[in-house]
Amino acid sequence: MTNHAGHGHTSHGVHGVHGGAQPGGLSVSENGYTLELDSTILAAGVQPVSFRVIGPDGRAVTEFVPEHEKELHFIAVRRDTAGFQHVHPVRDEKGTWSTELTLEPGDWRFFADIHPVGHDGTLTLGIDAAVAGPYAPQPLPEATGIARIGEYTVALDGTLVPGEASELTLTVSRNGRPVTDLQPYLAAYGHLVALRVGDLGYLHVHPEGEPGDGTTAPGPGISFMAVAPTAGTYRLYLDFQHADIVRTAEFTVRTTEPAAVTSVNSVTAPGHAGHDHGHHTHHAHH
């Protein structure tokens, strides 16, 4: 059987995950490491954001173990689950990270996915930020099992069962035809972030297979194993790269019941539809 590689962000490593474990990203500080923003009050629009990870010695951490080609993965999402962004900040020699985010008014949650040198495994730290302006929170999109991003359609197959490892497969098509030439992006064919609705806790997610392993096909299916710690509703965000552009497909999933597949013409709520990042990436393809 052919595996389909994806990359899932994990907060406690991908092995030895137990059902009911506390999801990551709920704390600004864990195991002596603290996420520190230069400012937790930001203006709307395209804004610079800078931060540091403070280590157990009280100093900014400057040494990290790269995970999926990057020392740090930074996730931003508004508390109503809109506005998802997955970016890769640049670090200076003193340990300050800098990036740009596109922010709309409201309450936001920022996550830093890291593996500090000297720490056993990865950590996901989370911090709140407020963006000034009139806030129009969006309703949670229905669980349709289908996401549309321009010419692309992504179908979700699989269910989340609380406390058990569950396989999720996301199948990508373009104009009705299966996509079989997904491009490796950060050493994977897909990146999945999963958040629990209500507190934005990170799920434990990990990929099946990887590009170049001799068995993993570049689409149309991308498979992940996920553990939902509790019953409830979760938001899934899949990043995939095709034709040199990274796009994001978004889903709402409720535990213990299959995602109901509806017409591909279904429309998600404003602010929640899958989106095209519009940025081109330059990776060598072998």
Residue 139 is encoded by which pair of tokens?
């309703």
Residues 114 and 202: their CA atoms lie apart, in Å, by 14
Cα angle 185-187-189, degrees, rounded to a multiple of 5:
55
Q: Which strands make up the sheet holding 123-131, listed edge to edge?
A: 41-42, 123-131, 106-114, 72-78, 85-87
User: Tell me, what's the pLDDT at 207?
Assistant: 79
Whole-angstrom Cα Rg for the chain:
18
How much of the chain exceeds pLDDT 70, in percent?
Answer: 82
Residues 205 and 225: their CA atoms lie apart, in Å, by 6
Residues 116 and 156: their CA atoms lie apart, in Å, by 33
Q: Is 188 exposed, middle or buried (CB count within 10 Å of its CB: 0-12, 13-18, 19+)?
A: buried
Residue 188 or 9, more confident = 188
Q: 144 in the Ramachandran plot: left (φ > 0), alpha (ψ -120 to 50) or beta?
A: alpha
pLDDT tens digits, residue range 45-76? 999 999 999 999 999 999 999 988 899 999 99
Residue 110 or 187, more confident = 110
Residue 124 is encoded by which pair of tokens?
């996901």
> Per-residue pLDDT averaged across 214-234, rounded?
93
pTM for the whole structure: 0.83
Residues 94 and 100: their CA atoms lie apart, in Å, by 19
pLDDT tens digits, residue range 228-257? 999 999 999 999 999 999 999 999 999 974
User: Tell me, what's the pLDDT at 187?
Assistant: 78
User: Tell me, what's the pLDDT at 203?
Assistant: 82
User: Tell me, what's the pLDDT at 4?
Assistant: 44
Query: Where do the DSSP E strands lie in 55-105?
Result: 72-78, 85-87, 90-91, 96-103
List domains and CATH numbers for the chain. 29-131 (2.60.40.10), 140-280 (2.60.40.10)
Q: Is 155 exposed, middle or buried (CB count within 10 Å of its CB: 0-12, 13-18, 19+)?
A: buried
Is a pLDDT exceeding 70 seen at residue 263?
no
pLDDT tens digits, residue range 12-33? 333 333 334 679 999 999 999 9
> Per-residue pLDDT averaged across 191-218, rounded?
89
The answer to whether 124 touches 9, Cβ cutoff 8 Å, is yes
How much of the chain exceeds pLDDT 90, in percent?
Answer: 73
pLDDT tens digits, residue range 131-176? 999 999 999 999 989 999 999 999 999 999 998 899 999 999 999 9
Residues 256 and 7: their CA atoms lie apart, in Å, by 23
